[in-house]
Structure 1
Amino acid sequence: MDSNIRIRRAHRWLGIAFAATILIVFLGLALSGPDWLYYLPLFPLGLSFLTGAYLYVRWYTGARRTPAVAGAGSASRVRPVHRWSAVIFTLSVLATSVALSLPEPIEWVSYIPLFPLLALLVTGLSMALRTRRARPAPARG
């Protein structure tokens, strides 16, 4: 199996793990859970950032050498939106970290990363569903 496919699959599962940890954090904090729950999503988020950066570099270095795939269609339009949403999400998380570390934190800034995160969720699910529909059915025998 190609390493690019393995990294892509890991990236998808890390996105699911990140979403699951966000739900756990919301539920835990709603039930007055411990403060360390805030840090729970950082591990899958960090790994997702690394795998996404790897895939982005692989795409960027190979995009000019590889001819366009015929019939890529809407998948070729969704993937750049997903990539740029990831860049915007990363920058908004950094801006939020800075804004919340100020002596008088600007709390409304903490909601800004939710918009690119929603775009990442929608585009990621769209690409995953398209990939699953495009795979041939396994042979029965």
Structure 2
Amino acid sequence: MTELSSDELLNLTVKRMLVGLAVRPLTQHFVSRLLWDLPLTPPQLVDFGIDSKDHYRALRAALINDDPNGGAQDQAGYKRELRKRVVELDKAYGHGPKLTALVKKYAPEYGAVVFTTSWDVLAGRVIEEKSAV
């Protein structure tokens, strides 16, 4: 029997929770690391626009905060809500304005945090400010 590393075990746990969802493997691993409060990989930092500790905290809160409408949830309700948010997070992959909107929706206490990704720059969604020389 092969022994799993703790990282593999954590990813497997989250993967089971997300079974049947059509989300990118990168998003699954990102969610796993956020839920277990682990450091993110460089591709995760770039693709999800994590530029500061507040960006990390904002996305983590967007995943795990209670229902913003104040509804109490049982374990099944929590799992349903988490799965819904993971799908929304996957749709926001590489898109700063969508990531910002996701945070405002589920973690309004971090509403001032603005996300920008390298994909935004490549797609022309961000205009680089030119420094005066």
TM-score in same-fold range (> 0.5): no
Larger RCO, structure (CA 8 Å, separation 6 or more): 2
Query: If you compute each CA radius of gyration, which structure gives the higher value, 1 or 2?
Result: 1
TM-score by length of 2: 0.29
TM-score by length of 1: 0.28
Q: Which has the higher helix share?
A: 1
